[in-house]
Each structure stands twice: as C-alpha cells, then as structure tokens.
Chains A and B, each alone.
Chain A
C-alpha cells in the first residue's frame, strides 16, 4: 500500500516536470505547427543560467525569497531572449518552406546547444554534471509517520505551479486579445495577416513565452534532480513532446494531463520492473497513442484536405 502511494507521488512529481516542459512545446506547436526539437535544450540553457545566478548570489541570498525570484526572472528572461533569437534567425526564414526543413533546423539547433555546452573553452560550462544549489531548502513530510510514504515540499510546489500555469495559459489563449491573435495565426497565418494581425510579433511572443516556461520548468527539474548537465534537455524534451502529443498537441490542459499521465506510467513501469526500461516507456506510449488516436486524448480530429 505504502509502495503504491509512494509510486503515485513520485510519478506525479516526474509528470509535473514533463507537463511544464510540454506546455511550452504545445504553445509553439499550436501556433507554428513546428516540433521545436530544441525546446528541451533551451530549458537546459535556462537551467544553467539559473545555476550561474544562484552560485553568484552565494549561500544565504540564493534561498531567500528575493533571491529565488531573481533566479527565476533572470533565467526566464534570458531564455525568452534566446527563444526570440532562435525564432528570428533560424525558424522565421523557413516559415514558407516545407515543414521538414524547419524540423531539421530544430534538430540542428538542439545539437548545437546541447553539445556546444559540453565544450569547455571560455565561458562554456563543460560536460561534467554539477550540483544545483538548494534554492528551495528541501523539507519532507512523512505521511504515515514513518518513511513508507514521503512527500517533499518541492514536489508540491512544482505541481501547484504547473496547475497554476495551466489555468493562466488557458485564460491567456481563450480570454485575451493576444490569445485570440494566437489562435487566428494558428488557424491560418496568411488570412490572419490580412486581418491585420501582426503575425511575426505573435509568433515571436509565443516563442518567448514558451522558452521562458521552459526555463522555469528547467529550474524545477534541477531542484528535483539536484544536478545540471548539458545533455539534460535532450531526453526531457523528447518526453515532454510525447506528453504533449498524448494530450493532443496544441491543447493546453492536454499537455498537463499528458505530462502527468506519462510520469505516472513511467514510474509504475519502472517501479514494478527495472529502471533500464525507463526510456522505452515514453516511446511505446507515444506510438500506441499515435496509432490508436493520432490527435491525442483532447485533440480534435482534422481531415486532410487536398
């Protein structure tokens, strides 16, 4: 019983991270119809930014309320700029080209970032994993009074942030002027442009938003994993993409549900077999979903027009 509950909690905690990264994925896909393969690596860059700020602040300051806020703001702001840069120089020139061209570019950016950060000349961090400072001092709650079921404070904080962001993003997409512009661009960006919507600006802002979300998710991921390293984004990014597809890509609540579901399934499969199967779970789940219900759990089925 305790085992089961603990797996449930761990699964939800892992799923929370996938959900947060998937939110950024789904926003960008929703607007651009582009699998932003580099999303996970933008997350990695943001996490390294947060690491640098936290180390720069030093021990007492980094876990004060102001310090934590500064860490999040700098990392998210930096990533927003990085996202803007990537969109402007790598994706925008390819917008009218076949979609695969943009996908290959995204793969290229992903490799440039993740392996570029493994170099160790100049300011680049090098390949070695490093301990992420405890910016939120870990605290545990023993549910039954002993160690059978343990909940950590950061697990709860991450889950709350994910749910909060989901509600906020949903409101942004469906209740604001900007959200209406986003949906219009997503529907048909040429017509949207004719209707006076600044398509380039909407896409750039969506990218910045998605990248900032990735940075936030990265920090929470680093708190969970306690280390940062240059390749951390590759697999998390892929799995978050899987989560977004499971929930129906382009759908905000779907991304969160998909992320939590993926985290739970992964945790249970690993918990009751062996951890060496972990990486196969997400992909078998993805293939199953795409074969049975290609538009995901909450996606709408669209017919292909010729």
Chain B
C-alpha cells in the first residue's frame, strides 16, 4: 500500500472492502439464517468498537450506550417509514433501497451524534463512577422520552420499517467504524485521548484541551451507536423502548471490558463470541433436542445469558481487569502484513 499516492491510500481499503463484501453478498445473501446471524453480530461489533472509543481509549466510563442506539434506531426508522413508498427512478430497485438505507443510517447517526453532544457537554465534567451513573441516567432518560413521544409510537414502538439491512451494508459499516477507530488510535488525536485516559490532570497540563477531546470522542462514539441502531431497526420487525434498556448498555460494556479496554480487535472478538455463543447454542439445542425439550433448553440459554454476563464481569475484574487482550491488538501479531506495526502507544 505504501507505493500508492496519499489520497488514494485513504480510499483504497474502503474500495477493497466494498468489492470483497459485494462478492460475499452474492454468495451468502441467499442464506437467511446466516444473514440474520451476521446482522446481529455486525451491529454488536459496531456498538462495542464505538463504545471502546469512549470507555477504552479515553477512559471515560459510559454505561448509557443503548440510549444513543435508540436515538439512531428511532430517527433512522422513522425516516425509513416516511420514505417507504418512494424509490429513486432510473436505477434498480435494490440499489435504490440501499441508498435509502444509507440515508437513514446517516440521519440516525447524526441525530445520535447530536444527542451525544448534548449529553457529553454537561456530564463529561464528572469523573469516574459519577460519570458512569450519569450516562446511565441519560440513557434511561432518552428511553423514557422516546417512549412518551407520539411520533415514535410510544410504548408500542415502530413497526413496518422496510427490512433492507443487507449483509454488505452492515459489514461495510463495521469496516468503517473499525477503520475510524484505528485511524483515531494512530493519530495525534488518539494520543491525546490516551493521555486523558492515563492521567487527566497531566494531560491538561501538557496542553490537551481535555473537555473538547472528551466531547469529540463521545460524539463520534454516539454517532456510530446511532448507525448501529438504525441498522438494527432495518432488520428487526419491530423496535420498541424495551430493546434499548440499560441491560443492552451493560451487554455492550461487557463486550468492551471482556475484549480489553482500548483494544479494537479485542472488542471485535468479544462482540463476535458473546453474540454468537448464545445464538449458536440456542439453534443447536433447537435442532438436537427435538421439538419440546429443545425449545425448553433454547429458552434456558436466553435466561442464562444475563447472569453469565454478570459472572463474567466479576471473574474478569478479579483475574484480568484489563480484559483478555489488554490494550494489545490482534494485528500487532502481523506487523508487516498490516500497517507495518506503527502504533501510537507502547
């Protein structure tokens, strides 16, 4: 990649990913279960990686991520509902659908970003555990406000959103969020975030405008949470306030903490494993256990998921508080192959 001219170097990986995902879409787009599974996984990866920008890189512990996901899901979903009967003329139907999806992702993400700015500005004055509780409070408040608005269908939520989330679009978003997170990590901006994480007072003394950096990290993170929410709205039949409680936030926090605070690849791996494990177990039980016993066992998997997350958090904190990956990255193992291993930290 080093031989490419600079402006192309930025676009090249995106084009490459676009081509690869397009090819994959043709191959796997016909398997409904696989598409569903990869959608759930993809959304969770976006959530985990975006939360990692705040919780891992900047060291500000937010546990209200589901609130921003809700903003994206509702705003994006509402826009999609409004655009439902429209189609862009002159291009194939499928392409027009994807362009509309892209529009609602952008709008949902932007709305969540604005929400992140509004929340971040006052609350990032607080530190540590107080910040955590306030983000939780804001997340819950967003949910309560949404469930009181007539436009968003109150407690019933929105239904009938076109189911246009495609394998390609979801994984393109995953790719973009990972790329953005990595570029942040490797930039001067990212070094400032790491400085804030390591010692806020010292960072301030070295001339880092801590408030501005923290708010910016928060806005970027909420933007992608909104994108994830909008994607989510486009593949589940109905969205309602119950999908965005703080239980969801804690789920994402578990992924980030388990993968390693500050490790992008850790978040990805943890999100994939923690999402796939229950899904695979459930479908396995459904197939092996026969109709009745299998269904009961599959239900047990759902029930047992949250306590397992809880125990996982406790065990992790006691034995390996930095998470499985620490702040290392998977791609550090292949330094030459990927980005020649120039890392901002360490």
Contact = CB atoms under 8 A, between A and B. Distances in A.
A104 B140 contact: no
B91 to A, nearest CB: 43
Interface in B253-307: 253, 257, 300, 303-304, 306-307
Contact of A109 (B123, B137, B310): B310
A99 B310 contact: no
27 contacts: A35-B129, A35-B133, A90-B318, A93-B318, A99-B129, A100-B132, A103-B61, A105-B313, A105-B314, A105-B317, A107-B313, A108-B311, A109-B314, A112-B311, A115-B306, A115-B307, A119-B300, A121-B300, A127-B303, A276-B154, A277-B144, A280-B145, A286-B134, A287-B123, A290-B126, A294-B126, A294-B130
A119 B148 contact: no
A110 interface: yes
Contacts of A99: 128-129
Contacts of A194: none
Contacts of A291: 122, 125
A104 B137 contact: no
A111 B137 contact: no
A94 interface: yes
Contacts of A90: 314, 318
Nearest to B126: A290
A48 interface: no
A141 to B, nearest CB: 34
Interface in B310-346: 310-314, 316-318, 321
A104 B130 contact: no
Given A109-B314, A238-B136, 4 more contacts: A101-B321, A110-B310, A274-B148, A277-B148
Contact size range, B: 35 or more
Contacts of B250: 107, 111
B307 A112 contact: yes
Contacts of A127: 303
B201 interface: yes
Contact of A287 (B129, B134, B145, B310): B134
A99 B138 CA distance: 21
Given A105-B314, A280-B144, A286-B134, A111 B129 contact: no
Contacts of B213: none
Contacts of A107: 63, 250, 253, 310, 313
A277 to B, nearest CB: 6
A118 interface: yes
B313 A119 contact: no
Contacts of B310: 107-113, 115-116
Interface residues of A, number: 45
B314 A287 contact: no
Nearest to B318: A93
A241 interface: yes
Nearest to B313: A108
Interface of A: 34-35, 90, 93-94, 97, 99-105, 107-113, 115-116, 118-121, 127, 238, 241-242, 245, 274, 276-277, 279-280, 282-284, 286-287, 290-291, 294, 306
B86 interface: no
Contacts of A116: 307, 310
A94 B320 CA distance: 11
B126, B129, B130, B154 pick with most chain A CB within 10 angstroms: B129
Contacts of A102: 317
Contacts of A242: 137
Leading 10 A-B pairs by shortest Cβ distance: A108-B313, A111-B310, A112-B310, A283-B137, A115-B306, A280-B144, A108-B314, A116-B307, A105-B317, A115-B307
B123, B130, B141 pick with most chain A CB within 10 angstroms: B141
Contacts of B133: 35, 241, 245, 286
B36 to A, nearest CB: 24
Contacts of A103: 61, 128-129, 132
A279 B314 contact: no
Contacts of B312: 108
A94 B316 CA distance: 12
B313 A287 contact: no
